[in-house]
Amino acid sequence: EEEFVVTPWEVRGRVDYDKLLKHFGAKPLTSGEVALLEKYAGEVHPLIRRGFFYAHRDFDFILKWHGEGRPWALYTGRGPSGPVHIGHMVPWILLKWFSDKFNLEVYFQMTDDEKFYDDPEMKLEEATNWAYENALDVIALGFTPDKLHLIIDTKDIEPLYPIAVRVAKKLTWSTVKATFGFTDSTNIGLIFYPSLQIAVAFLPTELRREATPVLIPCAIDQDPYFRLARDIADTLGYPKPTTLYSKFIMALTGESKMSASNPDSAIYTLDDEKAVKRKIMNAYTGGRPTAEEQRKYGGNPDICPVFHYHMLFDPDDSSVEKIRQDCRSGALLCGECKLKLHEKIAKFLKEHRDRREKARGKVDQYRLSQKI
Kindly list the residues in this chain that would bind ligand SF4 in the complex (CB under 6 A).
Answer: 285-287, 299, 301, 304, 306-307, 327, 332, 334, 337-338
Smallest separation (angstroms) from ligand SF4 to the CB of 329: 10
Nearer CB in complex with ligand SF4: 109/294: 294
Nearer CB in complex with ligand SF4: 131/320: 320
Smallest separation (angstroms) from ligand SF4 to the CB of 310: 7
Smallest separation (angstroms) from ligand SF4 to the CB of 344: 13
Nearer CB in complex with ligand SF4: 247/338: 338
CB 319 within 8 A of CB 343: no
Smallest separation (angstroms) from ligand SF4 to the CB of 260: 24
Nearer CB in complex with ligand SF4: 111/294: 294
Smallest separation (angstroms) from ligand SF4 to the CB of 245: 25
Nearer CB in complex with ligand SF4: 340/355: 340
Smallest separation (angstroms) from ligand SF4 to the CB of 50: 14
Nearer CB in complex with ligand SF4: 32/315: 315
